[in-house]
Structure 1
Amino acid sequence: MGNGIKDIQLAGEFDALKCCVIIPTYNNEKSLAQVIADVKRYTSNIIVVNDGSTDSTAKILSEVDGIEIVSYPANKGKGYAIRQGFKKALELDYHYAVTMDSDGQHYASDLATFIQAVKEDPNSLFIGSRFMEGKDQPKSSGFANKFSNFWFWVETGLKLPDTQSGYRLYPIRAMEKKKWFCNKYEFEIEVIVRAAWKGIKVACVPIDVYYPSQEERVTHFRPFKDFFRITVLNTILVTLAFLIHRPRMIFREFKGKSLKEIYITYVKNANETKGKIAGAIGFGVFMGIFPIWGYQLLIGFLLAHLFKLNKAIFFIAANISLPPMIPFILYLSYVTGSYLMGQGSWKVDADLDIASISANIKQYIIGAIGLSFIMGSAFYVCSYLIISLFKSLKKQNA
């Protein structure tokens, strides 16, 4: 549990950081009082959310001094309880909140780990990664955790060892404007995925965990209903990730950097085959010309990710559509359209700006699609030959 001096120091750090502990509870009368007592050794900033318990929870809470209590008559789910805890914490001007279960599986002594982590890396969301070795962990929990870890990686590109742990530290002030949708267990998936999409760092810290014997365990997880809800949520999140958020996160990574910085950071030191490099260049040129102005990078990043192409090289090549180049692209698109439509003329009776496209939309679209294929293929072939030549010369000089 730690000595008194350490407990006093940690309590002061909780206050300095404006951090509290939120304990959502539903029918955990056997362990609740001890969990609260353990947390009180480290901080008095405690919010207990009574999620419509039908046992003696209300009586137990009425006998505890110095804690905030949120209570409502009907059980609405763990996610709803945590959200109500967040709401109360923000009303009390807390900036951070640690959530821990009321079933006794989490050790209050690990609160020090979360406080140290957030001191070193503020505005991050930390998940307590459980030590599974030697623990009597339910087999269904192990499978569910691996399942959750996989989909979190698909949705965010981040690999974490334990995305299902309920022992977490949330930067609630940084998240206060977010609107949440889930009320049950799946909320704990929604919150970390959407936090990552918002640009909040999500990381794990090591914690210990206690699994009681099978006959002592109290769980409110409903294998079929809750797993179905989690599956539906993941389906929605994966769709949103590939259509919007993964491309936006990649774009955010490159935003504000010069082409030279991107080249040095992501291209020069990249271990790519000549085919992959040439493919990224050709595809970048293709998307830079393709007639979907305003969506070229968004869709291009998504496709580059699916095709496993170097996104930095793609981004550099896609800049063929920079403003100074637009008149040339429009002109060549019109000319290409003219030839593809059987007119075959280099003369263009239109102003070389985007506003004039509407008057010649058919010729422009046909020509731009044709030009994007021609130029993309040409850049691919030329890049491949040049890279091959340089690598050959490099071998001869080695």
Structure 2
Amino acid sequence: MPIIKVIIPAYNEEDSIANVINDIPKIVNEIIVVNNNSNDDTAKNATNAGATVLTETRKGYGYACLKGMDYIANQSIKPEIIVFLDGDYSDYPEELTKLVQPIINDNIDLVIGARVKQLRESNSMTPQQVFGNWLATFLMKLIYGARFTDLGPFRAIKYQKLVDLHMEDKTYGWTVEMQLKALKQKLSYIEVPVKYKQRIGVSKVSGTLKGSIFAGFKILGWIFKYSIKK
């Protein structure tokens, strides 16, 4: 088996983080939880569940992901595959094996866990999330000919391909930046349908009007930025 590492950005996920860690398949070599300036017991509960816990005091999903990548970059033995997973228990961590399979068996570079409607629990995605995903992927198809249907955070990618993307977004544009750069660099990609349920706690992004608007602007900003460069 290839070396697989999981990066989990986490902000105030004390009630869910242990569940996420415990459900991750044993094929994973290291689970890295990036405590993104939480003011609860997220770090403690993640440590007790067996994860490596890093601290990133700058708030932002991208900041947390970059912290995890920096930690891995300084290890002597690098992984073959990186999996990104949220800490709110809305995904089914045991489906990680489905995400890494196309990379291992078919040499695919990037696999997105697509939260398809028929596998989503009722009300697990807000109307603004559903519309935002549709709009973003529609524009990506229109401008770039992409086949994406979701910007789902549950995803797997070859480690070296991830490094070569030179990721830079610090907040909500992380997922769409990865997909746009994958298109630009002509990486092979595929979507795998995954189940999705209501998260534990309130979303810090889609759960607030401010978060939803800011995330929308970031995502659209990345799409149009790359359409100019195209």
Q: TM-score, structure 2 length as denominator?
A: 0.87
CA distance in 2, matches of 1:153, 1:146: 10
Task: Flag the structure with higher strand content.
Answer: 2
Equivalent position SS for 2:35: strand
- Write out aligned runs for 1:48-127 (5 A): 48-65=33-50, 67-75=51-59, 77-92=60-75, 93-127=78-112
Residue 45 of structure 1: how far off its partner (Å) = 1.9
Can you give the 5+ residue segments of structure 2 that lack an aligned partner in the other structure? 206-210
CA distance in 2, matches of 1:29, 1:205: 29
Which one of the candidate residues 158, 161, 180 is aligned to 2:167? 180
- 2:134 corresponds to which letter in structure 1? K
Matching residue of 1:30: 15
Q: Are 1:236 and 2:225 matched, yes or no?
A: yes
Higher relative contact order (CA 8 A, sep 6+): 2
CA distance in 1, matches of 2:115, 2:185: 25
Matching residue of 2:208: none
Task: Flag the structure with higher helix content.
Answer: 1
State which structure, 1 or 2, has the greater radius of gyration over its C-alpha atoms. Answer: 1
Residue 217 of structure 1: how far off its partner (Å) = 4.1
* Regions of 4+ moved over 6 Å: none
Can you give the 5+ residue segments of structure 1 that lack an aligned partner in the other structure? 1-15, 242-398
Residue 205 of structure 1: how far off its partner (Å) = 0.9
CA distance in 1, matches of 2:213, 2:169: 17
Q: Are 1:196 and 2:179 matched, yes or no?
A: no
Matching residue of 1:152: 140
Contact 2:112/2:156 (8 A) holds in 1: yes
Contact 2:56/2:63 (8 A) holds in 1: no
Distance 1:21 1:146, change over 3 A: same
- 1:236 corresponds to which letter in structure 2? K
Which one of the candidate residues 218, 227, 231 is aligned to 2:216? 227
Distance 1:179 1:35, change over 3 A: same
Q: TM-score, structure 1 length as denominator?
A: 0.52
Q: Are 1:141 and 2:126 matched, yes or no?
A: no
**CA-to-partner distance for each residue in 1:208-254, whole Å, 9 max, x for gaps?**
11125xxx54211101222222222222111112xxxxxxxxxxxxx
CA distance in 2, matches of 1:48, 1:169: 16
**How many residues of Structure 1 are paired with residues of Structure 2 in the alignment?**
220
Equivalent position SS for 1:17: coil
Residue 25 of structure 1: how far off its partner (Å) = 0.7
Moved more, 172-181 or 195-204: 172-181
Contact 2:62/2:168 (8 A) holds in 1: no
Superposition CA RMSD, Å? 1.9
CA distance in 2, matches of 1:123, 1:85: 22
- Write out aligned runs for 1:301-320 (5 A): none
Equivalent position SS for 2:176: helix
CA distance in 1, matches of 2:226, 2:110: 19
Matching residue of 1:6: none
Contact 2:115/2:196 (8 A) holds in 1: yes
